[in-house]
A and B are shown apart, each in its own frame.
Chain A
């Protein structure tokens, strides 16, 4: 109820009363409709979303659909309709929300899924186009949607004469003097002498100062006889609420106005609608005396505690269940008792409820489950737990207490080193011995280098490698501007030299090959006077001597020797 009670409150409830014959042909399954009043709206407009469920058994609530770029600004307003057509009963309930677009673009009302009698039925999603500004026309006064509210012949023949109707409504509280937190049953009754085809609240009933719980009315065929001011009626309960005052003092429930559709009573009659208003209801609410540690519960309760494992191994957990059972406003009470167990770690509890709402109040139980993790071996004791509540019959605060529960902890295995923490428990280990380190450790600076330093070192290493590899050549080029650097031909020169003496060729061609190899490996040696330059120049002179010498004999041995010398020079210097 909390959700519904928080909403704009229940709106119109319609209940057609079965004053006609006919069996209730209830349908096993139902239908769900999701509708909006407009699919193209301005960002400043509002959209009305209505979810309607038609079924023989209507749900108390439907899950609100997922909204995309829309937000709820009002609702849900709930209305229930019941109709009888050809002896067949049909009923529907509608939930209406007012939605406000958040941004221009495409918004969407998500699909609706409702479970009816074990079968899930749904309505598809509805896309909505949101444009800038406002596109809604100025609202006109709404005409009644009740088919009995207008007469198509009125304009032609003038308004029909008013009929005399004997229909009354009454709001009746179960009591008018009570304490804060005590239940009050408020029932709206319909007294009628005619067949009623529809009933709706004209205004949403307000229950300011109360926590309100919905109640499902038992279907009552034919109503019950009642006499008001000497006139006999049939009385039908049409709507009831279980109210819990939240503050002391005189609280008035304002009058509620209902629109009642009266069914056709003759063949030529079309039926009509009347409006009736209840009297305001005033109740006197007495305060509860201030007491420290009071839980806020009002009613009659008993408390009990039980542990799932009276003996556990160290490192294992036991679960303590503290249960409060009885009749009263237990739904309000969230705070459980404080539990501290010496020698054990206690985690915040999980709360489980099994509560039922009836005309006389809320009954059932609420259970707080504590996870207790022993920290030491031996006999522990879970102390007595108390639950304080206000007993309206004795008009005083009563404390329900449990008895202490022993917990025996045996020696554990490896698990005792680290107690397992339940995943649902926020926070870390609380209480118990801390696992502290006693050695401060080394405060020496980190041994690793920062990334920027490593980056600089890598770049520097690459540059230095480049300098080592090409520095000699660069230095030679810089030393003699214009001089051509030695070509990179060491391997090619060696291959040329290997051809000398292996392939048949003239001495001029062979000498030329050797000469080219020398030039390829060492480049121009003009001006050089180092050891390398002198050796190369001497070899070059010998090669040229063979190249230009007259052909007076076989020079093949001499050429092989020159090729070998050249190869050695290339290996050594190039």
Chain B
């Protein structure tokens, strides 16, 4: 009896492993191939299929500036200005130095009749982006380490006066540069309104009443989250709750499309 149970267990494990391998095989295509397949679909006009492939790549951790650029092009071709802006802003987060992305953001923003300030509600976000663009956090840490090394060497060789100067200068520069990434860390999380006429509600509830509508493509600070709702503040200062899938966050892991 026990032997039979063991045989059954082994069979179940074998079947499970087979299923896992089979399901993995469909995902086993290299990401570059899947990316190219998505590009071909977009060129052929299959925007939905291309979007699905791009999204699956992002979910799998292969989100790059180029992937987000293509997502933006596909969304723009579908007339979804909010989703296009979201993808472009994510591309800018991933590669702040990409000038083409900055130009494309301006183009889509003007097409959506949005003011430049409506895409930048929190100035600290720009500070954080500048820090990432120039790697200021790494540079600051390197300078602080250098100052410590110089100070330690001065203790070991007190008669080497230049080491003291190096320690002081490195410490001052390191602390000055560290201010930028530290300030950027205080930026509020933001999201992009991806639905035209997305309602702004007075409560995080299906029975809540609307207090206004959000502009498609507008970047709003996310103040809180509760279930399927996020609390946001629009450009006129009105606070309310919006459906989470109407406001896609700009930083953090990509959200699985609903």
Contacts and interface: CB of A to CB of B under 8 A. Distances in A.
A483 B148 CA distance: 29
A437 B110 contact: no
A228 B64 CA distance: 88
A429 B110 contact: no
15 contacts: A423-B110, A431-B77, A434-B70, A438-B39, A442-B64, A443-B61, A446-B94, A448-B136, A448-B138, A448-B181, A449-B138, A451-B181, A452-B185, A454-B137, A462-B175
B111 to A, nearest CB: 5
A305 B39 CA distance: 38
Given A448-B132, A451-B184, A458-B140, 6 more contacts: A428-B111, A429-B76, A438-B39, A446-B94, A454-B137, A461-B147
A428 B174 contact: no
B31 interface: yes
Contact of B73 (A435, A446, A572): A435
A440 B141 contact: no
A229 to B, nearest CB: 61
Interface string B125-152: 0001001100111101100110110011
A428 B84 contact: yes
Contact of B31 (A421, A440, A461): A440
A457 interface: yes
B113 A454 contact: no
Nearest to A423: B110
B194 to A, nearest CB: 13
B77 A465 contact: no
Highest count of chain B CB atoms <10 Å: which of A448, A449, A454, A468 = A454
A37 interface: no
Interface of B is mostly: helix
Contact of A428 (B81, B145, B184): B81
Contacts of A443: 31, 61-64
Interface string A64-90: 000000000000000000000000000
A136 interface: no
B66 interface: yes
Contacts, number: 144
Contact of B81 (A427, A447, A449, A452): A427
Interface string B44-74: 0000000000000100011111110110011
Interface in A432-490: 433-443, 446-455, 457-458, 461-462, 464-465, 468-469
Contacts of B229: none
A461 B39 contact: no
B147 A455 contact: no
A426 B64 contact: no
Q: How large is the interface on B (under 10, 10 to 19, 20 to 34, 35 or more residues)?
A: 35 or more
A462 B155 CA distance: 16
A462 B174 CA distance: 11
Contacts of A462: 175
A265 B158 CA distance: 123
B151 A458 contact: no
B156 to A, nearest CB: 10
Interface in B164-181: 167, 171, 174-175, 178, 181
Contacts of B112: 426-428
Interface of B: 31-32, 35-36, 39, 42-43, 57, 61-67, 69-70, 73-74, 76-77, 79, 81, 84, 94-95, 107-108, 110-113, 128, 131-132, 135-138, 140-141, 144-145, 147-148, 151-152, 155, 158, 167, 171, 174-175, 178, 181-186
Interface string A320-334: 000000000000000
Contacts of B140: 454, 457-458
B64 A446 contact: no
B128 A451 contact: yes
A249 B79 CA distance: 42
Highest count of chain B CB atoms <10 Å: which of A418, A423, A435, A469 = A435
Interface in A497-553: none
A35 B155 CA distance: 87
Given A421-B111, A453-B137, A439 B66 contact: yes
B116 to A, nearest CB: 13
A430 interface: yes
A361 to B, nearest CB: 36
B66 A441 contact: yes
A353 interface: no
Nearest to B175: A458
A572 to B, nearest CB: 8
A239 B229 CA distance: 56
A25 B25 CA distance: 95
A291 interface: no
Interface in A344-381: none
Contact of A421 (B74, B77, B107): B107
